[in-house]
Amino acid sequence: MLDALLLPANTVVTAKGDSEPLDVSTASNPVFLLTLSVTSVVEQEAIDISLYTSADSATWETKPVTSLPQKFYVGEYPLLLDLSAVPNAKYVRAHWEVSRWGRGPTTPKFEIGLRLREVPPQALQAEAEAQTRR
């Protein structure tokens, strides 16, 4: 069961960047839960997180496979990532863009962490069954 950090908790982000590539080819299920943890922000700033895939960790797709909506506040933000429609996705990496506006220093400062966990097929099946009962 894959459970890995794309970025360790409380990583300080002040400019755009990319995480290290993460090998997801050993996962038994192509469905993952991405969790963004924002532990510190300043006023009037935003962060955008996107995930990209690669077959070899050298050449990356030009379009993200998924993106989180823009975030402004401290909190935990989950996103389900299904790579079953992307058969060549052997690696993933996160890309982030940050911005700041208003008065004061113009350099944004976020403290974030990104965790990627494989979702067991049984959990997905149980959720699908629960949905049909509602």
Write the pLDDT tens digit of every residue in 70-89. 999 999 999 999 999 998 99
pLDDT score of 98: 97
With beta carbons less than 8 A apart as the criterion, state whether 49 and 67 touch. Answer: yes
pLDDT score of 130: 67
CA 75 vs CA 31, 79, 117: distances in Å: 23, 13, 18
Q: What is the mean pLDDT of residues 110-120?
A: 96
Q: What is the mean pLDDT of residues 91-95?
A: 98
Closest by CA to 15, choosing from 56, 58, 48, 61, is 48
The DSSP symbol for 133 reads: H
Q: Where are the domains of the chain?
A: 3-133
With beta carbons less than 8 A apart as the criterion, state whether 19 and 8 touch. Answer: no
Q: What is the mean pLDDT of residues 115-132?
A: 78
**Distance separating alpha carbons of residues 23 and 86, to the nearest angstrom:** 14
The neighbour count for residue 38, using CB atoms within 10 Å, is: 19
Q: pTM score, two decimals?
A: 0.89
Average pLDDT, the chain: 93
* In the predicted structure, residue 121 carries a pLDDT above the cut 90: no
pLDDT score of 132: 73
Assign a CATH topology to domain 3-133.
Jelly Rolls (2.60.120)
pLDDT score of 123: 75
> Model confidence over 31-58: pLDDT tens digits?
999 999 999 999 899 999 999 999 999 9
**Distance separating alpha carbons of residues 59 and 40, to the nearest angstrom:** 33
pLDDT score of 8: 97
Length of the chain: 134
With beta carbons less than 8 A apart as the criterion, state whether 79 and 66 touch. Answer: yes
> Please, which residues have CB within 8 angstroms of residue 74's CB and are 6 or more apart in sequence?
38, 39, 40, 41
